[in-house]
Amino acid sequence: MSETFTVNKLAQFAELPSIFAKGEMCFMMRTDEEFAIICPDFMAPDTGQQETGWKCMKVNGTMNLNEVGVLASIVGPLAEANVPLLAVSTFNTDYIFVMEENLVTAVQALQKVGHEFVHGE
């Protein structure tokens, strides 16, 4: 994907910033320890901890929730190439985030094991 993303850590019970009602792609997870948001840089809240510079690769197509090994086929080669990542799974597919400086290495590692890339928006 062309956007660069920011990973944000907010207080566990922080309110959802109003910008997230705008319909842009973002991921929000609230646990018993934190409220994490992964969003395009321009939407990043200015509170809490942040890590910028993440690029996103989306697994193309819709998968069934009972499919086995899709995420492992991505995470394994990236681990072997020493590429740190964040993975987010939705009902339809998986999203893999890598730091922008690791993107070329990540793409090469995945292509080496047979993954193909389609450049999207």
Q: Domains of the chain (ranges plus CATH)?
A: 4-112 (3.30.2130.10)
HSE toward the beta carbon, residue 102, CA cutoff 13 A: 20
* Per-residue pLDDT tens over the stretch 43-76: 888 877 899 999 999 887 776 667 777 788 888 9
* Nearest one of 61, 23, 63 to 39, comparing CA atoms: 23
Report the alpha-carbon distance of residue 81 to residue 105 in Å, rounded.
7
Mean pLDDT along residues 73-91: 92
* Per-residue pLDDT tens over the stretch 10-29: 888 887 877 777 777 899 99
| pLDDT score at 120 | 63
| pLDDT score at 91 | 87
Is 103 strand, coil or helix? Answer: helix
Give yes or no for residue 77 having a pLDDT over 90. yes
* Per-residue pLDDT tens over the stretch 109-121: 989 988 887 776 5
User: Which carries the bigger pLDDT value, residue 108 or residue 22?
Assistant: 108
Helices (H), 8-116: 70-80, 103-112
